[in-house]
Structure formats: C-alpha cells, structure tokens
A = this chain, B = another copy of it.
Amino acid sequence: MADAARKLDEVFHALADPARRSMVERLTRGPASVSELAEPLDMSLPGVVQHLKVLEASGLVTSIKEGRVRTCRIQPMVLNMAEQWINERRVAWQRRLDRLGDYLAETAEDTEEDDKS
C-alpha cells in the first residue's frame, strides 16, 4: 500500500501545475508531439520536457520516439486512480453525514415521545 501512496503523491504532484494540466488536457484529445504540447505554453522547450518527465514519472503519460519526433499519450487508468481516491473520501464523508442524519432523526423521535408524555 505504501507503493500506492507514493504513486498518488506523484500523480497529484503532476496535476498540481497549470503547464502540466494543460499538457494532460491536450493529450485527452489525442496523442501529441513534444512541440505540440509546448505550443500553447509560454516556456522554453527544455522546460516543457522537464514537465513531461514529471508526467511520465507519475505514469500519467507515456511516450515513444519515432524518428526525431516523440509522441506522447495519456494513460487514463492512472488518472482514474486519483479520481478514485477523492471519490472514496467523498463516500466516507457522505456515510458520516447519513449516520449523523439517522442520529438526528432518532433524537427528534425521542423528543416527540418526550413531548407526548
């Protein structure tokens, strides 16, 4: 499980930067070269490549070099992993609210009974 935790660190860290999110966003619309990823970003190419390395380290993106072009693809299952972690927290929180609701309802019933007596 410590493995999964480290992965989550890397994925959330990768998503915590607007340039990297822009790259992920672009890649959800299909594969792209490094230059294509760089095009909308106000940044030198080596800067983009460093961000790409962070994305690849997280597993969010993979790439292969064909000729002189490196083609990058998104790895949606890794994106899913992050979403799932958040979702699990939401569910836990919701369950707690439900229990709280039940408790309050019971308390209200008790109060009604108290009112009757």
Q: Does A42 contact B (CB under 8 A)?
A: no
Size category, A interface:
20 to 34
User: Are A15 and B18 in contact, with the CB atoms below 8 A?
Assistant: no
CB < 8 Å neighbour of A90 from B12, B80, B89: B80
**Within the assembled complex, what's the spacing in Å between the Cα atoms of A89 and B24?**
8
How far is it, in angstroms, between the C-alpha of A92 and the C-alpha of B21 when the chains are bound? 14
Q: Which of A71-87 contact B (CB under 8 A)?
A: 74, 76, 79-80, 82-83, 85-87
**Complex interface bits, A7-35 against B, C-beta within 8 A gives 1, otherwise 0:** 01110110111100100110011100000
A24 to B82, CA, bound (A): 14
Contact residues of A: prevailing secondary structure: helix
Smallest beta-carbon distance A51→chain B, Å:
13
CB distance from A62 to the nearest CB of B (A): 14
Smallest CB separation, A35 vs chain B (Å): 21
Does A5 belong to the interface (CB within 8 Å)? yes
* Interchain Cβ contacts under 8 Å between A and B, 17 examples: A5-B18, A8-B15, A10-B16, A12-B16, A13-B13, A15-B85, A16-B16, A21-B85, A24-B89, A28-B90, A29-B92, A29-B96, A74-B93, A76-B93, A79-B86, A82-B86, A83-B86
